Amino acid sequence: MIRKKFLFSKPVIFTALTGLFVFIILSACFMRYIFSGLPPVYEMEEYTPSLTTKVYDRHNHLIHEFSIEKRSMVPLEDIPVDLQNAVVAMEDRNFFKHAGFSLRGIIRAGLYDLITGRAKQGASTLTQQLSRGVFLTQEKKLIRKIREIILAIQIEHRFSKQEILQLYLNEIYLGSGAYGVKSAAKKYFDKDLSEITTGEAALLVGLIPAPGRYNPFANPDMARNRRNLVLDVMYEQDYISRDELKKAKQEPLPVRPPAPEKKPGQYFIEHIRRILEPKYGMDVLWKAGLNIYTTLDIEQQALAEKIMNQKLQEYDEQVAKGLGIEIDPNDAEADAPSQTDEEQATPQERDSYPRLQGAFMVRDVKTGAVRVLVGGREFDESKFNRATQAKRQPGSSFKPYVWMAALQRGYTPATLVKDLPTMFYYDGRNWHTFDENADLYSLDLAKQTFIAGKDFNVWVPQNYGGKNDGWVTLRRGLEKSKNLVAVNLIDAVTPRAVIQVARKAGLTANLPNVPALALGVSVVQMDEHLAALTTFANGGIHTDNYYVERVEDANGRILEQHIPIETSAFSPQHSYLLVNMMKGVTQRGSGATVARLGRNVAGKTGTTQSHRDMWFVGMTPHTAAAAWMGYDDDTSHENGARFTGSTTARWWTEIMEQILKEEPNDDFAVPEGISFSYINPTTGKLTMPTDRNKFLEAFITGTEPESF
């Protein structure tokens, strides 16, 4: 009997089994390593690429976008069919057939890389490109390629082809900071995605492998050849006809990037960025696709910027030519007369003049919603916001706080107050008046002894123009912006009382406890000053300025919404009396240029020492606005054209003439407890019905003059 022998001996079988076991273990470890580097594919359902945050004005007009990457998400049905077909034809012709990867493509790419010795051929399907773009790195390594294929298979299993194509077209980088086809259409053609042609769709698809190389602005010949290649492939695969192919190839390429649009409201946008970025963080504001609904009226903003820039340019030219501007006989802060030809500046002197700067702000009287915010003339040149960041002296526009303090102390609009020279001296601790009965000459003599002493400071304020009227009513003192009335008032009611009024109105600036406070020697911000003065127009109710109505996340969930907060600061009666006097400023006083609006406007001009700051703040019952002009370096206007607060009131009026077009011409509501009596505007006493020189004045009931 013959015994059969085994083909392999036991040691050989043992060695083979051991090798197989080791191979299985190593393979398992390798696959564990491969899968450990893969993210869960279900995250694709919640994947949110870096989105653009959109900013809207009060009428829901899109006015700005915050974005790190220029990207917009678009549903597939809104993407042109030619663009979809071009991507499939050029990048993955079997996209609708494969399960996420192409075995033939991988083998072809592998052989090419082996022959050339370079890892160049990608052979990636659209799904692989998407998995790499969303979850993986761009480095060319075998491990990354394996992970890419596995992840692509998982994506194909979980999502439809349409969903994959949609995300790919929104995710792909197309150069110049543009992610996704919608942003690229805007970047290269300045068009909405729905408006692009077949040739333009082919050009965008041609950018995919190398956006820098095929950029039409940098390399037009290469871009044209690449576009035509895409069109040829589309024709070969029956996506376009021969006529469409010929027509598309004849389309011109874009020559240069669309010029960045100079949009209005950049100071406003920067201001809300400064508000929201610390609150939400840079990543959320710039990448999370928020929707920010603001208080801004972009149309009003645009016209305000246009008019302000135009007027300041005219004033610059006047200064450069050494010309003055026309005198207004009703203007207590009148501009200087025109200069003669001999006094005009030389070209060298004109070149040395700095540019006038300005700021303008409009808000709703009752709510505080800011409708216009102009922080300067050229945002690109200077992002410094002169409406919200600059601190400037308000000059006579500070006087309403003094008048309110006087009203609270029992003064009426008909009370006679001193418009007489007064000397103040400082004894090292407090300011005192020297001699209220002395005339200007005796004061001038008396102050010489104080000037000689080292322990005393002397201040002798004067009216603009140096004239005084002796005694005037409280109303006339405000209308004509009488400096001597203001300092005598603050001396009577105390600076501390005025500071308390300013604080209650909303000013947070440092306010010195000195008589000169009445003339606006402290520095304030325009936004605070406007909000504070608006308190009087709102019946004594203070509301803060606000800029954002609400913020929503990308899914429409409200993250914040403005809730108005009202603070009762002054009585409606005192507020009405003050506003009624401020109406006189725009009818007969230093702001009489505003009268041409034909509206009920309460306002106040302001001009600081040496004409460094020129203000006008005006209010209707519904809308309040502040305007400022001056030089950033605090240059004086004493030489050349002497601009004043009345100058500022002129361009304030031009802007508001447009802004107030649709606003009803209402008057300020008269609260209960107010009565009206005819008085003599010079003496402040009641008049007889037959008197010709009379004025209908408002009083808190019971405070009317008792004598004729």
For residue 16, the one-letter residue type is A
E strands, 320-399, in order: 357-364, 370-374
Please give the share of the chain, as a percent, with pLDDT higher than 70: 77
What is the predicted pLDDT for the residue at 331? 45
Q: Where in the chain is the domain with CATH 1.10.3810.10?
A: 69-249
- Sign of the torsion angle spanned by Cα atoms 604, 607, 608, 612: positive
- Check whether 334 has a pLDDT greater than 70: no
Interhelix angle 572-587/399-408, nearest 10 degrees: 140
Please give the share of the chain, as a percent, with pLDDT higher than 90: 58
Q: Which residue has the tokens 């606005």?
A: 625
Please provide residue 323's backbone torsions phi and psi, each rounded to the nearest 5 degrees.
-100, 150
CATH topology of domain 395-522: Beta-lactamase (3.40.710)
What is the predicted pLDDT for the residue at 389? 96
How far out from the chain centre does Cα 574 lie? 35
Asked if residue 412 lies in contact with residue 700, where contact means CB atoms within 8 angstroms, the answer is yes
Q: Could you tell me which CATH number the domain at 295-392+523-668 has?
A: 3.40.710.10
What is the predicted pLDDT for the residue at 338? 32
Q: Within a 10 A sphere around the Cβ of 16, how many other Cβ atoms?
A: 11
Question: What are the residues whose beta carbons fall under 8 Å from the beta carbon of 391, sequence distance 6 or more?
Answer: 509, 523, 524, 525
CA pair distance 568, 253, nearest whole angstrom: 64
| 133-169: pLDDT as tens digits | 555 444 445 555 566 666 767 777 678 888 888 888 9
pTM score, two decimals?
0.75
Q: Which residue has the tokens 């009206």?
A: 676
Asked if residue 74 lies in contact with residue 170, where contact means CB atoms within 8 angstroms, the answer is yes
CA pair distance 96, 93, nearest whole angstrom: 8
What is the predicted pLDDT for the residue at 236? 94
DSSP string, 408-453: HTT--TT-EEEES---EEE-SS-EEE--TT--HHHHHHHHHHHHH-
CA pair distance 619, 289, nearest whole angstrom: 37
Cβ-count burial of 33 within 10 angstroms (0-12 exposed, 13-18 middle, 19+ buried)? exposed
The pLDDT confidence band at residue 26, using thresholds 50, 70 and 90, is: low
The pLDDT confidence band at residue 669, using thresholds 50, 70 and 90, is: very high
CA pair distance 642, 622, nearest whole angstrom: 32
Using H for helix, E for strand and C for coil, what is the string for 566-626?
Answer: CEECCCHHHHHHHHHHHHHHHHCCCCHHHHHHCCCCEEEEEECHHHCEEEEEEECCCEEEE
What is the predicted pLDDT for the residue at 130? 74
Mean pLDDT of 219-228: 95
Q: Comparing 257-266, 287-296, 519-528, which segment has the lowest mean pLDDT?
A: 257-266
What is the predicted pLDDT for the residue at 611? 83
CA pair distance 317, 315, nearest whole angstrom: 5
| 181-205: pLDDT as tens digits | 998 999 999 999 999 999 999 999 9
Mean pLDDT of 239-248: 94
- Check whether 483 has a pLDDT greater than 80: yes
The pLDDT confidence band at residue 91, using thresholds 50, 70 and 90, is: confident
3-class secondary structure, 276:
helix
* Mean pLDDT for the chain overall: 84
Q: In 3D, which of 211, 172, 169 has the Cα closest to residue 193?
A: 169
Please provide residue 265's backbone torsions phi and psi, each rounded to the nearest 5 degrees.
85, 15
| 611-623: pLDDT as tens digits | 889 999 999 999 9
State the pairing for strand pair 53-56/291-294: parallel
Dihedral, CA atoms, 474, 478, 480, 484, nearest 10 degrees?
70
Asked if residue 598 lies in contact with residue 628, where contact means CB atoms within 8 angstroms, the answer is no
Asked if residue 362 lies in contact with residue 372, where contact means CB atoms within 8 angstroms, the answer is yes
Mean pLDDT of 405-432: 89
Q: Give the residue with greater pLDDT, 92 vs 524.
A: 524
Mean pLDDT of 592-600: 96
Q: Which residue has the tokens 């900071």?
A: 177
Asked if residue 697 lies in contact with residue 475, where contact means CB atoms within 8 angstroms, the answer is yes
DSSP string, 134-153: HTS-----HHHHHHHHHHHH
- Check whether 339 has a pLDDT greater than 50: no
- Check whether 324 has a pLDDT greater than 50: no
3-class secondary structure, 645:
helix
Q: Where in the chain is the domain with CATH 3.40.710.10?
A: 295-392+523-668, 395-522
How far out from the chain centre does Cα 361 lie? 11
CA pair distance 708, 705, nearest whole angstrom: 8
Asked if residue 486 lies in contact with residue 458, where contact means CB atoms within 8 angstroms, the answer is no
CATH homologous superfamily of 69-249 equals Biosynthetic peptidoglycan transglycosylase-like (1.10.3810.10)
Mean pLDDT of 533-539: 98
- Check whether 3 has a pLDDT greater than 60: no
CA angle 537, 538, 541 (to 5 degrees): 130
Question: What are the residues whose beta carbons fall under 8 Å from the beta carbon of 531, sequence distance 6 or more?
Answer: 363, 368, 506, 542, 543, 544, 545
For residue 147, the one-letter residue type is R
- Check whether 637 has a pLDDT greater than 50: yes
DSSP string, 512-548: -SSGGGGGT-S-B-HHHHHHHHHHHHTTTEE---B-E
